[in-house]
A = this chain, B = another copy of it.
Amino acid sequence: MEIGSYLKKQAEFINTKIREHIPSGIPEKLFEAMAYSLMAGGKRIRPILVLESAKALGMENTDSITDIAVACEFVHTYSLIHDDLPAMDDDDLRRGKPTCHVVYGEAIAILSGDGLQSYAFELISSNRTVPPEKLVKVINLLAHGTGIYGMVAGQAADILHEKENSFDDIQFIHTHKTARFIQSCCQIGGVLAGGSEEEVNALGNYGLYIGLAFQIQDDILDEIGDEKKLGKKTRKDREKNKLTYPAVYGIEKSRQVAREYVENAIEQIKILKRPQILQQIAQYIINREV
């Protein structure tokens, strides 16, 4: 199967699993808002990477860890809800749909994000199949990659640096905002499959490189992508004076840097038992149009 179709099929599988794990409760509006954002579409690349990283180490049956993959998408969804808030990036539309705060109001959007984050950790710590020592490592990796030394730091730097232009800043933002979380997802899959330190590190390096390539491609698509396919306005970054790769280096140089990251990523995981799918995902990341 071609990798694009494979990823589409996997995203559908993740969607089914997300649906199974969507919480219900009171107040209804809070739970509606979380469900709305969870089911608003998306490539589901992070949970897919958790599962594919485990499979790359030879794990045949990933049933016992799908809830952990889903939890990673919960954290991603929380970050999107908060990023879209008026005080942050102030986006009304995501994936062609009104954003959470537009539909449910700012207060419920903030609380939905908060709740999705805590529920991710609740989900992982409720897993009764994976041994506790692995769960603790997984929680540590997820909290680290998405927290104050990862995603949260990157988003803060992105907001604080909106009007400057420097290589160090953009590298810091891309590494922290996007790559560290993707790195964690790959490491999490590795830990869950019982990988050696060397294997988990290789997966982590792979994740870091494809995360960087992924963000450059996002910036390129914001510059020259198809609005209909993307389901959002393009050239928003430029309007907001955001620090992006194409803004600093131009499209061609950006594409070249992304290609180099992908080559490095592919190289990193040669030592694994079954690196092929992950290697194809790396390639796909810079060829995608959405």
Residues on A lying within 8 angstroms of B by beta carbon are 23, 25-27, 29-31, 34, 78, 82, 85, 87-88, 105-108, 110-111, 113-115, 117-119, 121-122, 124-126, 131-133, 135-137, 139-140, 142-144, 146-149, 152-153, 155-157, 159-160, 172
Residues of B within 8 Å of A85, CB to CB, are 110
Chain B nearest CB, measured from A213 CB (Å) = 23
> Residue on B with the closest CB to A24?
B148
Instruction: Decide if A152 touches B27 in the complex (CB within 8 Å).
Output: no
Partner of A159, one of B107, B119, B125: B107
19 contacting pairs across A/B (C-beta < 8 A) = A23-B148, A25-B148, A26-B157, A29-B156, A30-B148, A30-B152, A30-B156, A34-B148, A78-B114, A87-B107, A108-B159, A111-B152, A111-B159, A115-B152, A119-B148, A121-B142, A121-B143, A125-B139, A132-B135
**A87-B107, A132-B133, A132-B135 known; A118 vs B152 contact (CB < 8 Å):** yes
Q: Which of B25, B29, B118, B125 contacts A146 (CB 8 A)?
A: B118
Contact between chains at B87 and A110 (CB < 8 Å):
yes
Closest to A116 in B: B148
**A118 surroundings in chain B (CB, below 8 A):** 117, 143, 146-148, 152
Which residue of B27, B82, B124, B131 contacts A157 across the interface (Cβ within 8 Å)? B27
CA distance A175 to B272 in the complex (A): 50
Given that A110-B88, A136-B125 are contacting pairs, would A143 and B119 also be in contact in the complex, using a CB cutoff of 8 Å? yes
Could you tell me the distance between the alpha carbons of A126 and B149 in the complex, rounded to whole angstroms?
14
Q: How far is the CB of A209 from chain B (nearest CB, A)?
A: 21
Q: Which residue of B lies closest to A31 (CB)?
A: B148
Nearest CB on B from A146, distance (A): 6
Q: A156 and B111: CB pair below 8 A?
A: yes
Q: Which of B111, B144, B172 contacts A155 (CB 8 A)?
A: B111
